[in-house]
Amino acid sequence: MKEKTIVLILFDTFLTLKKVRFWGEREIKKKNFENKKINFENK
């Protein structure tokens, strides 16, 4: 039973980290896109 709980916690942590990385990458891409737009408008 104890091992099962540990595995579940690890799996949950893994999924959370994957989600965080996914959203982080999305935010970075959005920021990069906005920066390119601003640079383009400034030219």
- pLDDT score, position 36: 86
Q: Summarize pLDDT for 1-43 with one digit per residue, the tens.
A: 789 999 999 999 999 999 999 989 999 899 998 888 888 888 6
Measured CA to CA, the distance from residue 27 to residue 21 in angstroms comes to 10
The predicted pLDDT at position 42 comes to: 80
CA 42 vs CA 12, 20, 31, 32: distances in Å: 45, 33, 16, 15
CA angle 25, 33, 36 (to 5 degrees): 140
Q: How many CB atoms lie within 10 A of CB 27?
A: 10
Torsion of CA 9, 15, 20, 22, to 10 degrees: 170
Specify the pLDDT at position 7: 93
pTM confidence score: 0.52
